[in-house]
Amino acid sequence: MKVFIVHAHHEPKSFNGALTQVAQKVLSSLGDEVKISDLCAMKFDPVSDRRNFTTVKNPDYLKQQAEEMHASEANGFAPDIQGEIEKVRWCDLMIWQFPLWWFGVPAILKGWVDRVFAMGQAYGQGRAYEKGVFRGKQAMLSITTGGIAEAFAEKRHPLQEFREGHGFHGDIYGILRPIQRGILSFTGFAVLRPHIVHAPVRLTDDERRQCLDGYAERLRGIADEVPIDVGLY
Ligand SMILES: Cc1cc2nc3c(=O)[nH]c(=O)nc-3n(C[C@H](O)[C@H](O)[C@H](O)COP(=O)(O)OP(=O)(O)OC[C@H]3O[C@@H](n4cnc5c(N)ncnc54)[C@H](O)[C@@H]3O)c2cc1C
């Protein structure tokens, strides 16, 4: 299997860093090919504008999707984008490793999506969902949170006081829907159950090591996993 990990954390010694190291080690030991884009280490530029292109369709008015279509026809993407597009095309499984920031992905990863998942490359001309460009590929979010697991329960307990606890933040699947449905499923990926480590900062070293072992164990069997439905909640 060809696995592409998009890693979005600024600190190599972070728990996110440890998760990516585990993934690289385990998958490589299984004989999988692994490519990693460590966005912060690469200093990936997340700002989407004319710098995305070496071609120009309309110099007087920047209409992003029109320029993306034009660049798709004229081989006109900037090298940093082209390199990432090729890694997405190459992989069978794409893993995004990131800490949940403001109920979403860190800005550097959002900018990566804005620039790399360009019209003509990742979607367009009726290619979406079941007819998506990346159909046949799988994707998985591997995330960490600051909040504890109970805080992401589906419904808030009616007697719950306004403090962190049952349902404080709401359903994690609802939080991840714009990513899993709006980006991954939209572009044709089959989405695997997200791998979530809640509040690693509140765990003991032993508990954190167990989480890393649990991730390794899951990755050993990931080729046999069945995708989840990301459309119905
Ligand atoms: C801008 C911003 C927005 C945020 N928004 C949200 C939000 O919306 N919802 C939410 O729930 N949280 C939110 N958070 C919190 C954030 O999600 C967590 O801080 C993050 O997920 C923790 O992961 P980390 O990798 O940064 O942990 P770290 O703090 O790097 O790691 C946790 C602990 O693990 C230890 N560790 C590292 N490697 C290993 C190893 N190999 N073995 C054992 N221990 C190890 C580290 O030393 C550290 O003590 C936000 C944070 C920021 C900065």
Taking the CA of residue 104 as reference, the ligand 1 atom at the shortest distance is: 8
Residues 6+ apart with CB under 8 A from 5: 20, 23, 24, 34, 35, 36, 37, 94, 95, 96, 97
pLDDT score recorded for residue 158: 62
Instruction: Give the residue, out of 20, 21, 101, with the most ligand 1 atoms within 8 A of its beta carbon, to mutate for a pocket test.
Output: 101
What tens-digit pLDDT sequence spans the chain (233 residues)? 999 999 999 999 999 999 999 999 999 999 999 999 999 999 999 999 999 999 999 999 999 999 999 999 999 999 999 999 999 999 999 999 999 999 999 999 999 999 999 999 999 999 999 999 999 999 999 999 999 999 998 776 666 555 667 788 999 999 999 999 999 999 999 999 999 999 999 999 999 999 999 999 999 999 999 999 998 55
Measured from the CB, is residue 149 less than 6 Å from ligand 1?
Answer: no
Question: Across the strands, what pairs with 8?
Answer: none
Distance CA 84, CA 51 (A): 15
pLDDT score recorded for residue 43: 98
pLDDT score recorded for residue 35: 98
Instruction: Give the residue, out of 10, 15, 26, with the most ligand 1 atoms within 8 A of its beta carbon, to mutate for a pocket test.
Output: 15
Distance CA 228, CA 177 (A): 12
Measured from the CB, is residue 103 less than 6 Å from ligand 1?
Answer: yes
Instruction: Give the residue, out of 7, 10, 11, 14, with the most ligand 1 atoms within 8 A of its beta carbon, to mutate for a pocket test.
Output: 14
Q: Is the distance from CB of 2 to CB of 92 less than 8 angstroms? A: yes
Measured from the CB, is residue 19 less than 6 Å from ligand 1?
Answer: no
Of all protein residues, the one whose alpha carbon is nearest to atom 31 of ligand 1 is 15
